[in-house]
Structure 1
């Protein structure tokens, strides 16, 4: 057993007060305790150090040589201990944090605004936006990612999760597609078409394909792409249908080569979340980052 394991650290405060005041009553007043409690603390300190520490003389108490050495050491130790046990704070203007986030390219609907807010309020900090892959939840669990943005899929039970918003699906097709003149698509019309699949997890667009699997009515893939942003570009001149969240499709609303229709009502809205590891719950910098995300999403859309 080491010396510190045998020591009651609660005695550090009384020790500093006794050495500073060299008087039991004044030390008790300084430490905010009673004179009998300080006398008991002095005795315990004498036993712990094997030294009298304070010796009564005709002119009052004097420090022993050991006590003088301890007092000099405490002058450096106590401020560091105070800093160690003080509540952590985060001052974004002075901080230089390296924030690590991850998600599919769908996060582009708000991540640029998040970047502007982070760099405005914490100009020395950095953001690393990692790519989405099948093991990204493991990255979160292993501390390789701080904050993860994703749609619909349930995270691991041990992670924190917060619902951010919903986004409905729409269908993007060529202006001359046979279905383009309709006000909307039935599920039968939808499934008779060939589709652009935005392969987010395991080669599937899970937010759509998991639902169709539950209905036992899978769709036919004509093209698979890794990014939402690519899907509308592949549609003109084909009979393909791309199923995209409305916020992504809205960027192509004025493209004369495209037509955007509501998705069949059987396809529910996309539910968008952020997740983080519980070890980051109380980290001031991470709390600030999560608040920045909430603040950006609370702002009116341009």
Structure 2
């Protein structure tokens, strides 16, 4: 019995050429090899099969019975091997891919546009959008999530990460809030107020609270909520401030009960990323999905 680890797959092409042409020189030309290289390949094939394969006869070479049986089997094997080793492609119009993405509710600022683009270009594909949770990196490791949207510093360094955009923070407050008359409060004035904390990761709004804590100037939380939309909806009629990324805050700009101003300069913009497992680097469907994200964000406001 010949074990596969002892078989040189590079011999398949010369084998097919030799059995077809039944002539070393013509087989070499067909396979794009020199005649000496084809002669060496024939000898290796004879050693591998334990059979002469081609024997001299009047007018040329003839196939041995073993070679005839091998030639019949190659007719089925070679096309399968060509399919196996052919470059993979992804045709969105005909594909039926199941994409699994995840993120906090902040992603709602642009994922509806992503959904529309995916369904317009790949109508047979499906999307599942899951929520961020503390075990999300394990989900990516185990293939339960393909693509994650997240703020900087909130995932494992073992993932591929690509910066998508920066989003400055805005303060959303009641129209009659003491700070509503200005365009950008000082940090002291900002910290004198009570705040709504959006606990997106581990119950903290780390993109805001981390830099403030490094300054030893933490916020005073009057209310903690899990979603940006809940924070914006809880502001009216209170003295609380919700500090939200611009892409979320702008959705409430027309509400007459609210006022939106710039966050203190010490609060730097949110750096937003997408992340995926390295094993998905070269998958054609996943490359298309990531390119679609880039295309959506490069176009008009998502």
Partner SS for 1:229: helix
In the other structure, the counterpart of 2:256 is: 256
Q: Whole-Å Cα distance in 2 between the matches of residues 2 and 47 of structure 1?
A: 11
Q: In the alignment, does 2:215 pair up with 1:244?
A: no
Q: CA deviation at 1:134?
A: 1.8
In the other structure, the counterpart of 1:185 is: 185
In the other structure, the counterpart of 2:62 is: 62
In the other structure, the counterpart of 1:94 is: 94
Q: Whole-Å Cα distance in 2 between the matches of residues 2 and 122 of structure 1?
A: 46
In the other structure, the counterpart of 1:22 is: 22
Over aligned residue pairs, what C-alpha RMSD do you find?
1.4
Q: Taking structure 1 as the reference length, what is the TM-score of the superposition? A: 0.96
Q: Whole-Å Cα distance in 2 between the matches of residues 188 and 128 of structure 1?
A: 43
Q: Whole-Å Cα distance in 1 between the matches of residues 102 and 171 of structure 2?
A: 26
Partner SS for 1:230: helix
Q: CA deviation at 1:154?
A: 5.0
Q: Whole-Å Cα distance in 2 between the matches of residues 181 and 146 of structure 1?
A: 45
In the other structure, the counterpart of 1:279 is: 279
Q: How does 1:211-222 map to 2 (within 5 A)?
A: 211-222=211-222
In the other structure, the counterpart of 1:132 is: 132
Q: Whole-Å Cα distance in 1 between the matches of residues 183 and 65 of structure 2?
A: 93
Q: Whole-Å Cα distance in 1 between the matches of residues 166 and 7 of structure 2?
A: 56
**Partner deviation per Cα, 1:175-195 (whole Å, 9 max, x = no partner):** 122222233211111111111
In the other structure, the counterpart of 1:174 is: 174
**Partner deviation per Cα, 1:191-220 (whole Å, 9 max, x = no partner):** 111111100111111111111111111111
Gaps of 5+ in 2: none
**Number of residue pairs matched?**
302
Q: In the alignment, does 2:184 pair up with 1:204?
A: no
**Contact 1:170–1:243 (8 Å) recurs in 2:** yes
Q: Whole-Å Cα distance in 2 between the matches of residues 137 and 208 of structure 1?
A: 22
In the other structure, the counterpart of 1:119 is: 119
Q: CA deviation at 1:157?
A: 2.2
Q: Whole-Å Cα distance in 1 between the matches of residues 2 and 35 of structure 2?
A: 31
In the other structure, the counterpart of 1:77 is: 77
Q: Whole-Å Cα distance in 2 between the matches of residues 113 and 17 of structure 1?
A: 53
**Contact 2:154–2:201 (8 Å) recurs in 1:** no
Q: Whole-Å Cα distance in 1 between the matches of residues 196 and 75 of structure 2?
A: 69
> Aligned in 2, Cα 1:89/1:206: closer, same or farther, shift over 3 Å?
same
Q: Which moved more, 1:48-57 or 1:287-296?
A: 48-57
Q: Whole-Å Cα distance in 1 between the matches of residues 135 and 38 of structure 2?
A: 58
**Contact 1:168–1:270 (8 Å) recurs in 2:** yes
Q: Whole-Å Cα distance in 2 between the matches of residues 184 and 7 of structure 1?
A: 72
